Amino acid sequence: MANKVINEMGLPKSISNIFTARNIITAKDALSHTEFELMELLDVGMSEVISAISHISEIVSPPSQTALLLMEQRVCNESMAGHLPTRLKGLDEALCGGIPFGVLTELVGPAGIGKTQFCLKLSLLASLPANFGGLDGHVIYIDVESKFSSKRLIEIGMKSFPEIFHKKGMAQEMAGRILILRPTSLSEFAESLHQIKISLIHQHVKLLIIDSMAALVLGEYDCGASRQQALGWHVSFIKSLAEFSRIPVVVTNQVRSQIGDEPLMYSFQAQSHSRKKDSHATYDSHLVAALGINWAHAVTIRLVLEAKSGQRFIKLAKSPISPPLAFPFNITSSGVVLLDDNGIEMNGPEINSINCQGQNALFNF
Amino acid sequence: MEVGMLPISASKRGKLLSTGYTTLLSISRASLADLARDLQVSEDEASEIMKCASKTSTLDLSTGTHTTTVVNGGQTAWAMLNEEKFSLHITTSCVDLDNILCGGINCKEVTEIGGVPGIGKTQIGIQLAVNVQIPPEYGGLGGKAIYIDTEGSFMVERVLQIAEACIEDMSEYSNHFRKDFQASEVKMHPNNILENIFYFRVCSYTEQIALVNYLDKFITEHKDVKIIIIDSVTFHFRQDFDDMALRTRLLSAMALKLMKLASKFCLAVVLLNQVTTKHIDGSFQLTLALGDSWSHSCTNRIILFWNGNDRHAFIDKSPSLKSASAQYSVTPKGIRNSTSCKRIKMM
């Protein structure tokens, strides 16, 4: 939309030619200047600039829809009104049906907690035929750390859906719908995204899994502005992919440790808090999600997987449609299994914390 | 030089200066034919220049009474006081929050609400989009809402939940307070509420700027829009913007347009913002995104934060409201009072 050419917008010829003469070809070029700047640049009066800009703006603006129309479209056109059921009853209920289409869902947790197992189960669920509750489509699995195991995938399939997988040739067909890509760099990943966009237009692909986003980004750039910029571009692109093709996108994220117990505060809070500070500073490190606060804003749903006193939990840390619930889970031969479908409601920022106690995994960096 | 301020093209301005017309007075004193001949332009163009010049020169003579204004377009403070007394508010469904806002989100003003991810910004946005539709019999505005979504966080399922809860609250209210009407059914259906929310999905900053420009025409066609919510105003301006000065210029132009919309159509504009970390006084602190210049653009600024296990809202900047904080909570019904306080307040 932003790259629409001004010449094709139906503006009067005189002003249209002036735009081209000054090298303002697309709508993006025109709207990246304030009206006063354009007046100076194009050497025309203010009223002409205003009418040209309002004409361009009207053409470039996205169309309006009502919320009712959106809901009706989802209910009519999409399975489960736009959700991919995870077969974990408590989680599906909390998420109004399952992993939602069109938005980014993030899985974050320490190493070995079960993120990849969850993704394997999801890819299986998406490839199942519709009468078994699946999306009957292809899955693209972007496996950055080479963690995908076909053997484990078939094992999960055999144990969870024996009636399908024991039929002849079904295992091959299901597994055949999952395409695994192994990009080794961020630029390779960007290229494969462009190709994915084309296959999405043909509507074969019903789920995109990126495991893990952190590994892609952290390996490449030094900390700071260039990494944030690169990440920002990729995030926007993935989000727009998810939106226009209305598929669920699941992304896994790593954790990193942060020294110091003090949460970040605003300046008006800092004044009242400093009086309560302890005399000795704590140097305990605790875990936070990698990729920064910008990324945390960009994902729509964040599922935190953690281990506390030897029990694993999956927590709905950020979700516009669910209350903050934590479900205990285990990993069995048929994948992730919830131990209790009624989640424990957690109040406050505790839902965001990531614990790693009672697990035999080395995670300190 | 006064001629330098005229909104005409640079070449015309250059011609005026080079032929000796340096002040607006000199232009207004010249005749049309003289001007056209000196500047070597047609009489139409010359008359346009004269029109521009006379509009800009504000030499209105007062008619002698004290109530007329000396400058065109101005308004006395007394007249504004009457307007402000009757200005409309949109409730947030949380009594404490409404109290610190003196009734709710103000119409005719631009309010910025920012906070960390997961604190409830989108929830407040959706709640306001539903609450603006509360009919006047129940103390609302009975208007429509425009929801501009830049991040894709608008989930229709949640809007339905909040709409249903709002209608339930309204029927409870009517049962308590309007017992004289026999079982007056609230005639709204959640689908009616969904129908009155105009949704725009913006995918780049160009589209965002274009949409804000187009809103003037859209609202002229849909006169009962009473709130514009942009969720979030930051997202597209944070990615791939190399020229920070350009970003500041575009953002201030956009903020000015939104302020004009708010005062022209008497509606509320709510901008949701993200946070970023900033290094102040040797430590990292949270602050709202988009920089220091942006923080001047909005009339009111509310920051949402965690205090222990509770969500609070703090009025960071406002020309008329006292700096205070209030507790609120996000429930399956939407934004409501915090449940930890023991008082029960009726709507």
- Is residue B325 a contact partner of residue B100, using CB atoms and an 8 Å limit? yes
Highest average pLDDT, of A8-17, A96-105, B36-45, comes from A96-105
Euclidean distance between CA atoms B244 and B254, whole angstroms: 15
Judge whether A357 lies within some domain.
no
Q: Does A76 lie at the interface with B, CB-CB under 8 angstroms?
A: no
- Is residue B337 a contact partner of residue B96, using CB atoms and an 8 Å limit? yes
Q: What is the largest CA-CA distance in chain B?
A: 81
**Which of these three, A5, A26, A60, is where a domain ends?**
A60
Please give the CATH number for the structural domain made up of B2-56.
1.10.150.20
Note whether A344 and A244 are same-domain residues.
Answer: yes
pLDDT for the residue numbered A295: 87
pLDDT for the residue numbered B283: 78
In a mutational test of the A interface, the residue from B45, B207, B211, B288 whose CB has the highest number of chain A CBs within 10 Å is: B207
State which residue of chain B sits closest to A37, comparing Cα positions.
B249
Note whether A130 and A240 are same-domain residues.
Answer: yes
Both tokens assigned to A303: 């599922």
Euclidean distance between CA atoms A3 and B121, whole angstroms: 31
Burial pattern A77-111, b for ≥16 Cβ within 10 A else e, equals ebbbbbbbbbbbebbbebbbbbbbbbbbbbbbbbe
Note whether A94 and A19 are same-domain residues.
Answer: no
Judge whether A4 lies within some domain.
no
pLDDT for the residue numbered B344: 37
Note whether A41 and A84 are same-domain residues.
Answer: no
Residue A131 pLDDT greater than 90, yes or no:
no
**Cβ-nearest to A66 among B116, B198, B309:** B198
Residue A355 pLDDT greater than 70, yes or no:
yes
Note whether A41 and A173 are same-domain residues.
Answer: no
Q: Do B206 and A2 touch (CB under 8 A)?
A: yes
- Is residue A149 a contact partner of residue A128, using CB atoms and an 8 Å limit? no
Task: Give residue limits of the domains in chain B.
Answer: 2-56, 80-337
Euclidean distance between CA atoms A348 and A331, whole angstroms: 28
Residue A305 pLDDT greater than 60, yes or no:
yes
pLDDT for the residue numbered B213: 92
pLDDT for the residue numbered A283: 59
Q: Do A266 and B285 touch (CB under 8 A)?
A: yes
Quote the CATH superfamily of domain B80-337: P-loop containing nucleotide triphosphate hydrolases (3.40.50.300)
Q: Is the ipTM of this complex over 0.90?
A: no
Euclidean distance between CA atoms A52 and A59, whole angstroms: 11
- Min distance B344 CA to chain A CA atoms (Å): 21
In a mutational test of the A interface, the residue from B6, B127, B150, B199 whose CB has the highest number of chain A CBs within 10 Å is: B199
> Which residues, 6+ apart, have CB-to-CB distance to A107 below 8 Å?
A115, A118, A119, A250, A251, A252, A253, A303, A305
Output the pTM of the full model.
0.85
Euclidean distance between CA atoms B108 and B227, whole angstroms: 10
Residues in chain A, overall count: 365
Q: Do A67 and B238 touch (CB under 8 A)?
A: no
* More confident: A42 or A327: A327
Q: Do A57 and B276 touch (CB under 8 A)?
A: no
Judge whether A8 lies within some domain.
no
Q: What is the pLDDT along chain B (347 residues), one digit of tens a residue?
A: 577 777 777 788 888 888 887 777 777 777 888 888 877 878 888 888 887 777 765 443 333 334 444 567 778 888 888 777 777 889 998 999 999 998 899 888 999 999 988 888 999 999 999 999 998 888 888 899 999 999 888 889 899 999 999 999 888 888 877 665 554 556 788 899 999 999 999 888 889 999 999 999 999 999 899 999 998 898 888 876 778 888 888 999 999 999 999 999 999 999 999 988 888 777 778 888 888 888 888 899 999 998 888 899 999 889 888 889 999 999 888 899 887 654 433 33
* More confident: A235 or B86: A235
Report the 3 state secondary structure along B206-240.
HHHHHHHHHHHHHHHHCCCEEEEEEECCCHHHHCC
Q: How many domains does chain A have?
A: 2
Local confidence band at A121 (pLDDT 50, 70, 90 cut-offs): very high
Both tokens assigned to A95: 């998420």
Note whether A123 and A247 are same-domain residues.
Answer: yes
A34: containing domain: 14-60
Note whether A175 and A202 are same-domain residues.
Answer: yes
Judge whether A24 lies within some domain.
yes
- Is residue A107 a contact partner of residue A305, using CB atoms and an 8 Å limit? yes
Note whether A156 and A207 are same-domain residues.
Answer: yes
Q: Does B50 lie at the interface with A, CB-CB under 8 angstroms?
A: no
pLDDT for the residue numbered B273: 93
Note whether A155 and A274 are same-domain residues.
Answer: yes
Give Rg (Cα) of chain A: 24
pLDDT digit string (tens) for A137-180? 889 999 988 888 888 988 888 888 888 878 778 888 888 889 89
**Helix B205-221 to helix A46-60 angle, to the nearest 10 degrees?**
100
- Is residue B111 a contact partner of residue B317, using CB atoms and an 8 Å limit? no
Local confidence band at A361 (pLDDT 50, 70, 90 cut-offs): very low
CATH at A163: 3.40.50.300
What average pLDDT is seen over chain A? 83
Picking from A56-60, A77-81, B261-265, which range would have the lowest pLDDT averaged per residue?
A77-81
Q: Does A28 lie at the interface with B, CB-CB under 8 angstroms?
A: yes
pLDDT for the residue numbered A362: 39
* Residues B277, B147, B105: CA angle, nearest 5 degrees: 75
* Residues A365, A119, A241: CA angle, nearest 5 degrees: 100
Note whether A22 and A154 are same-domain residues.
Answer: no
Q: Of all helices (H) and strands (E), which one includes residue A307?
A: strand A301-308
Euclidean distance between CA atoms A184 and A186, whole angstroms: 7
Q: Of all helices (H) and strands (E), which one includes residue A345?
A: strand A344-345
**Which of these three, A25, A41, A60, is where a domain ends?**
A60
Euclidean distance between CA atoms B66 and B63, whole angstroms: 8
Q: Does A53 lie at the interface with B, CB-CB under 8 angstroms?
A: yes
pLDDT digit string (tens) for A267-278? 777 666 554 454
Euclidean distance between CA atoms A23 and B294, whole angstroms: 29
State which residue of chain B sits closest to A228, comparing Cα positions.
B239
